[in-house]
Structure formats: structure tokens, C-alpha cells
Amino acid sequence: MKKKKSQAYTAKDIYVLKGLEPVRKRPAMYIGSTGIEGLHHLIWECVDNSIDEAVAGYAKNVRIELFKGARVRVSDDGRGIPVEKHPRTGKSALETVMTMLHAGAKFGGKVYKVSGGLHGVGVSMVNALSSYLRAEVCRDGFKYAQEYQFGKPKTKLVKVGRSKTTGTTIEFVPDNQIFKVTKFNLDKIIKHLRQQAYLTPGLRFQVIDWREKAPLVYGFCFEGGVKSFLKYLIGENQSLVEHPFYVQKIRNNIQVEVALVYTNEIETEELSFVNNIYTSAGGTHLTGFRTALTKVINDFARKNNYLKEKDSNFSGDDVREGMTAIVSVRVPEPQFEGQTKAKLGTPEVRTVVESVVSESFSEYLERYPKDAKNIIEKCLLTYKSRKAARIARESVLKKGVLAGVILPGKLSDCSSKKPENRELFIVEGESAGGSAKQARDREIQAILPLRGKILNVEKARIDKILSNQEIKALVTAIGTSIGDVFNLKGLRYHKIIIMTDADVDGAHIRTLLLTLFYRYFKPVIDNGHLYIAQPPLYKIQSGKHIEYVYTESDKQRVIKSFNHEFSIQRYKGLGEMNPEQLWETTMNPETRILKQVTIEDAKEADRLFDILMGEAVAPRKRFILTYATAVKNLDI
């Protein structure tokens, strides 16, 4: 082997990043990404500091203002960041906090007993990733200000006048050389601040969007705290218990606050927080809660003969189905996995949460026997459904089926063996299916026609779902299995395309299929494999010239372009097209229009599916009345 010519590698090749250079060099390490989530993380870091002041008992108001040019201002009425000279850095305390990583009052444990921003990089990180930042501090009867560019001081700290109030204001403009997008999303900000308002009872939040001609103003303040949050989360869903469970205790210097309720829904919603920081990936606090809940319910069920000796225990999924829960802890020095704080890693928190929930939930079940009965009976129903689903799944997904040997008779498969090249068209009706089978490219395109409208899975358990013939065929064709044995590696087609008629019935079938995929095949959506075909609305012909039109605006444009007589055909069904037209307009990879199904906000998608497809009528009626005037192309 030929020896590679060595290059000089000496001490001068070792780079030492100073000040805030690490943040600018590797921003994703600190904020998770330089996309939309990372952009909003800048606001969260500033707000977290204001919340810390409120939790410590010094702030009562937090204001967030959005201006044109991606400028944001976050202000509070806390004590204000100190401005005197720091004994170790020789700079003002404000400049030290703004320009140095791991500098702040949250390490000593005297100023803040608990805090969301314990890493000490929050506001300095915002400074590092901003093309401009201005910090204003009101304290000791005066107002002070200092400006920065790209994390470095632009001006000296100056006293700009007297002040009768106290507090800190951070105004910044994200660096557009770092962030892919710099437009802040008002809905995202409102959702986050509403959540924070529930978690910090009595703290007033105000959001003002100055970007429009008429400013938009929103305010939040909830005295009920987590209890009010729980009520907001369950919305119109029917509670199965008269008394929601709630506990708040401090043990080993860790504050535990848990609220939960069971509803008649199938979905589970668990939100976990540490020092007001939403931990989307959970962590030790959520693990402790789940362990305690499962054990207490199993013990109670056996003690009261709901579970017999021959029965196996309820699983974690059994006891959590239909549950909405909030687990919030305040920890002096939490250990997060990463700066974005998505997961708590502090081991002792699990033990504390588990013991608090075990004791309190056991007392709750004994104190409210009627509520306990309703909870256990729901767990039993889920338990029996899970066992029935396993039997049904085994009957549908036998060994040969899982291996892809036994496929549905109605499926017209393609000849390619490479999943990345294969496409599955889910087509409504035998007529459209027949046209699609003739129109397709047999090498890469498979056709699965469905008869009528599939089962609404939002209202059904998995054992009933697997007894539905149309869903059986779909599950078998896709190859991933379903439920707790779902495996994305078994996916037989990397493009699954829903192709329905451009009318009300077609839209309903499309919604039913989207509900099925969202609830039981979500990784297919998450990994970009689900699409919606867009067939044309009109065929406009003038002489021998034909144009297919997909939108109302295009229709008007095409009509204006014709100088002589023309005819318009409105397509309501795919079966109205001959195979050549269907191929040219909807199936040809070179000319078709496909919409990829994505989930930007899973919680909002979950809420909308509940409204549109769930049991409760009232929220669906409100939704229809609200958006009735915006409906287009409604077939009557």
C-alpha cells in the first residue's frame, strides 16, 4: 500500500474559538436547527429568562412585539440584568451576560432556585445569531442600553435616562446569513405563550404584531394554572370522570405537578415540562409518571377483581388510552439532553415523580370509586380490544402475507421489485380503477381500487378496523403491517398516491384515507411517502386545441386566451376520463401534479381530525359555520 504523503499538522492547526464564535460556527448545536424551529427558539430563550424572573417572584408581565424586517422585542418588568462592573471579566455584568457563554445568575442557585435556562447560553446565543441586538435595562432608578452586532458590542453601555420601573428589554434581528427563513409565525408564538401562561399562573403575557396595517394584540393570563390547561386540552371531549386527578407536591427539593383526565376518545395526549420548558421527547419525569400510573391501575384492578388471576396485566398503552395528562416539574439543576432541552435526563426526578404519583393516584382511586370504576372499565375495554386486534391482525397478516406472497386479489401490482421505484395508486371505485389499470405504467405503477367509503377509523378500535375488507386489502398491499408491529422497512411502495374524484364524495374518501394514514401509518407520512393526486377540474377545448385546467384561476386564464368558440367539460369523476386522458393528466410522472402530504404541526392536525372525524358534533358544527364562506367548488 502506497504511503500517503503527510501534511503539516502542528499546534497552529488547533483552533480555539473565542467568545460567541462557537455559536455562530455551529448554530444547530445550540438551537437544534437553522430552520423555522431554530428561529423561534431565539424568542423562547428570551421569554424563558422573563419567566424565570416571574417564578422567582419579581416579574408580573411579559410582552412580545413583532415588527417588520424580522425585528422582535421581548420585555418584562423583572429586576433587570445587573449593569455594574463584573469583578472577574472587568466588563459590565450586562455585557458579560450578552457576550460570554455559560455566564449568568443561574449557576449559583441563590438568585434562581429553579430556571429554564440553566446552560447560561440563552440570551448570549440570541446575541450571537442576530445581526443587531439592543439590550435595555431599567433598575436602580435609571435606564441603561447597549447595542450589539453579530454578538459583539457596537456601543458601550450608556445611561439613557431615569426610570421609575424595573425590567429588561431585548430587541433583536436574526442574522439572515444563518437562518434559512426569518419570518416569524404568529400562530406558533401564540400557541407557545398560551402554554407558558397556563404553566405560570398569574403571569400576564401580551403579544403585539405590528407587521400588519392594524396591529394584532393578544393577551394571556390564567389563574387556574395546570388545571385550566387540562380543561383547555380536552376541549369538547366528554370526560369519563367527575373529578380530574391533580397533585402538586415538593419532595427532595423537586416540585411535581400532575393533572390528568380520561375521555371517551382513543388518542392519548401527554405533555411534559421541566421548569416551564416543553420536553417534546419526554425524559425521566415522564417515565416516572407512566411507571406509577401503570402499576397503580394494575394493583387496583387486581385488588377489586377487575383482573382475574389468569389475566395478564394491563400494558402501558392500555392504561393511557383516552388519557390527557400534564406532567410539570421544577428542578433546581436539571440535566437536559442537548441545548434545545427536548428530553430530561436527571435520574432522581424519575424516582420522585413515581413516588408522588403512586401515592396520590392510589388515594384518588380510593376516594372516588365511581371515577375509578369508569377508568378501570375503559382500561379493560382497551385491553380486550388489544387482544382481539392481535387475533385479527394474525388472521390478516399471516407469514405469507408479511412476506408479500399473498396480495389482495383486487390489487394490480407492478413488475418492478425495487420499492423506491414503485408507486401505489389508491383509487376510488371500480370504474376509475379500470381506467387507471389501462392507463398506468405497468413497470412502476400498481392500482388498488377501493369500493365505496372506507371505515372512519377515528371512531373505531383496531380490531374493528382490521375486520374491514377494504382496509385489510390496503394493509396487505402496503406491506408495513399495522399497530404495535408496524415496520416501515416492509413498505412495498415509496410513493403511495391517493387518487379520488374532484367532488364532495371524493374529498370525503380522501379525508377518510388521510385519517387512516395519520392514525395508523404516520411514519409513512413522516418519511414523505404519501401523496395526493390532483386530477383536472376542467377540459377546455377550442377546435383541436385542448387544455386541462386544475384550478378556477387557471380556468379563467385559459378562457381569456381563446379568441373563438370553446367548450368546457367539468370532470367530477376519474371514470369520466378515458385511459389516455387519465395518464396524460394525472398519472404521467412527467406531467402530473402530486401534492406531498406533510405534517408541520402534528398537534393541530390531531385536533382537526378530532373535529372533522370524531364523535363530538358541536365543534364540527362550529368549524363548518366558521369556514362556510371560504368553501369553493362545492358540488350540490
Catalytic site positions: 428, 501, 503, 505
Q: CA-to-CA distance for 306 and 312, rounded, in angstroms? A: 11
Residue 454, helix vs strand vs coil: coil
**Do 130 and 42 meet the contact criterion of CB atoms below 8 Å apart?**
yes
Helix (H) / strand (E) element for 373: namely: helix 369-396
Count of CB atoms situated within 10 Å of the CB of 113: 15
Nearest by Cα to 522 from 556, 551, 496, 499: 496
Produce one character per residue of 278-302: b if its CB has 16 or more CB atoms within 10 Å, e if not.
bbeebbbbbbbbbbbbbbbbbebbe
- 3-state SS, one letter per residue, for 56-99: CCCCCEEEEEEEHHHEEEEEECCCCCCCCECCCCCCEHHHHHHH
Distance (Å, rounded) from C-alpha 146 to C-alpha 529? Answer: 50
Query: Which is it for the CA torsion 359, 364, 369, 373, positive or negative?
Result: negative
Q: Residue 5 — φ and ψ, nearest 5°?
A: -65, 125
Name the grid cell of 329: 416539574
Distance, CA of 135 to CA of 151 (rounded, Å) = 12
Distances in Å between the alpha carbon of 609 and those of 548, 604, 613? 32, 9, 6
C-alpha closest to that of 197 among 61, 323, 39, 38: 61
Q: How far is CA 586 from CA 310, 462, 536, in A?
A: 56, 33, 8
**Which amino acid is residue 222, in one-letter code?**
F
583 secondary structure, DSSP code: I
Q: How far is the C-alpha of 469 from the C-alpha of 449, rounded, in Å?
A: 12
Give the Cβ contact number of residue 212 at 10 Å: 10
CA geometry: angle 485, 488, 492, nearest 5 deg: 115
Is the Cα dihedral 168, 171, 176, 180 positive or negative?
A: positive
Rounded-to-10 torsion of CA 36, 234, 329, 250:
160
Contact between 284 and 345 (Cβ < 8 Å):
yes
CA nearest 610: which of 271, 266, 326? 266
Strands, sheet with 530-533, edge to edge from the N-terminal-most edge strand: 445-450, 423-428, 495-499, 530-533, 594-596
